[in-house]
Amino acid sequence: MQMATATSEPRPSGLDIRALLQEHQGQNYELHAQHVNPSNVKTLKTIGFDHCYVRAEGPYLWDVEGTKYLDMLSGYGVFGLGRNHPDVRRVLTDFLNAEYPSLVKMEAPLLSGVLAAELKKRMPNPLDMVFFANSGAEGVEAAIKYAKCATGRPGIIYCKKAYHGLTYGALSVNGDDSFRSGFEPYLPDCRMIDFNDLDALERELKRGDVAAFVVEPIQGKGVYIGAPGYLLGAQKLCRKYGAIFIDDEVQSGMGRTGKFLAIEHDGPEVDPDIVVLSKTLSGGFVPVAAVLCKKWIHDKVFSSMQRSVVHSSTFSQGNFAMAAGLAALDVLDRYQLMKNAERMGNLIGEGLKAMIPRFEFMKEVRWRGLMVGIEFGSPRSLTLKTAWGICHGLDKSLFPQACVMPLMNKHHIITQVAGHAIDVVKLLPPFVINEGDVKWFLDAFEDVMVGMHKFPGPAWDVITDIGKAALTNRAR
C-alpha cells in the first residue's frame, strides 16, 4: 500500500526585519499617535524633535533624509559606549551562534557568576553579593526591599529632586512632583530632605525608624553634585544610626564621571552598603541592572533555603544580558573610556565655563566627567531681564527648552532639559566622543547663546509661540 504524502508546499520564509523597517520607514509618529502615546508625539512635534532615525554608530545618528546628528544624550546615558559598538555586537553574535541555554531557572547560570565577579573587582569597597535586574528602577526596588528586610525598619529617606525610577517603590522616593502627581498614595514612611543637607539627614535618622538613605552622588535631574564631604558625612551618619547607605549609580556609574562609580570622587573612605548600576552596563543592547550589597544584608534577605528565591525576577541573569555586560566591561577597560570621559568632560566643561562672562543668561556650569549641567539665570540688563520674565511667566521650563530646540534643529545636536521647572540643560554624551565632537557642540552652543541674547529676535518668537501652546494645552 502506498503511503499518503503531505503536499510539498514552500515553507514561509519568516519575518524579514529589514524589509519591515523599509516598509514602515518614516511612519514612526503616525504609528505612535495611533497606538502608543499621542501626547508624547504632540510634545516631540512641538519642539521639533520628530525625526525618524535609521542608522546609528558611536555618538552619531542619521535620519531618513541622511542628516547626521551628534547624540549628546546617549539614550539618557544608556549608550555610554556609543551606539552599536562593534566589539559588543561581536560578542553577542558569537553568543547567539553558540546556542547556549539561558533562563533554565533551576540552575546557577555561569555567566551571571562571571559578571558578578567582574563587577565586584571594580567596586571601591568590599561588596560581596550581586543581584541582577532588568532596569535601574527595578534595582532600586530591590535595594529598598533589602534595606527593610535587613534592618526591620520601615523608613526610607530620599532627597528633593531625586530620580530613582518610576515603579511604585522608586516613585515613592522620587523627589519631583511632576512624576508623582496622580499616583498617590505612595509607600508609607518615605520622607524627603534637601540634597547636601546633613543636618536634615541626621534629624530623620535620629527618629530610629530609618531602614536606608538612598542617594545619587550626582542628581540626574539638574546635574546637582554632592558637596565636598557630603556623601562621606551621609555614610557616617547612616553607620551611626544603623541605617543602610544606598548609592544609586544608575546614571552616574560605569565610568561616566571618569571613575567607575561617581561616589569614588569623595575619596578612599567611601563605603556604600548597596550600589545600584544599570544604563551603560549592557552597552545599550539589552536591559540589565545590578545590585551589589554587603554579605550581612544579603544573608538577612536570603536567610534560609526556604527563602533562597524570596526576591527574584523572571528575566534576571539571562545569559544574553550577562554576555552584554561582560562585553561592555571589556570595552570600557580596553579602550580606556573612563579616561576619555574625564578628558572630554573637562574640555566641554571648561569650554562652557569660559562663555559665562560673555552671556548674561549663563549662570553656572556643573560637570563631572561626561555628566554636564548648564544652568541659566536672570540676566543683569533690563531688556534681557524683561525677556526672562516673559519666558518664565509662560512656562518655568521654557527657557532651557529654547536652547535645546535650536541645538537640534539648526545644529543637529541632541540634548535635553534637565528637569521640570528648572533652568538647566543636561548633557550625557557617549564616552567615545572626540575633540571634533566637542568643538561641534561648543560652536553650536555659542551660536545659540548669541541668538538668545538678541531681544527681540527670532529665538524669542519661537519661545513665545511654544509658551502659548503650552498654556493652551494646560487649559484643555
What is the DSSP code string of 19-64?
A: HHHHHTTT-HHHHHHHHT-HHHHHHHHHTT----EEEEEBTEEEET
Total number of domains constituting the chain: 2
Examine the domain organization and report whether 319 and 422 are in the same domain. Answer: no
The per-residue pLDDT for 392 is 84
> Do residue 301 and residue 174 come from a single domain?
yes
Domain endpoint, select from 306, 334, 362: 334
For residue 217, being part of any structural domain is answered with yes
Query: Does 397 lie in the same domain as 304?
Result: no
Residues 259 and 195 in one domain: yes
User: Three-state SS for 248?
Assistant: strand
pLDDT higher than 90, residue 76: yes
In a domain, 7, yes or no: no
Confidence of residue 230 (pLDDT cuts 50, 70, 90): very high
Residues 96 and 242 in one domain: yes
State the pTM of this model: 0.94
Q: Answer yes or no: do 235 and 318 share one domain.
A: yes
Whether the bond between 429 and the residue before it is cis, its omega within 30 degrees of 0, is no
What would the pLDDT profile of 306-355 be if each residue is shown by its tens digit? 999 999 999 999 999 999 999 999 999 999 999 999 999 999 999 999 99
Domain final position from 302, 334, 366: 334
- Asked whether residue 100 falls in the same domain as residue 219, the answer is yes
Model confidence at 371, pLDDT cuts 50, 70, 90, reads: very high
In angstroms, the CA 379 to CA 305 distance is 64
In a domain, 274, yes or no: yes
Residues linked to residue 367 through DSSP beta bridges, in sequence order: 372
Query: Is residue 79 over pLDDT 90?
Result: yes
- Could you tell me the sign of the dihedral formed by the alpha carbons of 81, 85, 87, 91, in that order? positive
Angle at 339 between CA 265 and CA 415, to 5 degrees: 85
**Is residue 15 in a domain?**
no
- Band (pLDDT 50/70/90 cuts) for residue 1 is very low
- Where residue 147 sits, what CATH number does that domain have? 3.40.640.10
Residues 146, 295 contacting (CB under 8 angstroms) = no
Q: Which of 9-13, 38-42, 215-219, 368-372 has the lowest mean pLDDT?
A: 9-13
CATH number at residue 346: 3.90.1150.10
| Beta-bridge mates of residue 458 | none
Task: Provide the domain limits for residue 313.
Answer: 87-334
Q: What is the DSSP annotation of 189-235?
A: TEEEE-TT-HHHHHHHHTTS-EEEEEE-SEETTTTEEPPTTHHHHHH
What torsion do the CA atoms of 275, 278, 281, 286 make, to the nearest 10 degrees?
A: 150
Q: Are residues 202 and 311 in the same domain?
A: yes
Cα(249)–Cα(216) distance, integer angstroms: 6
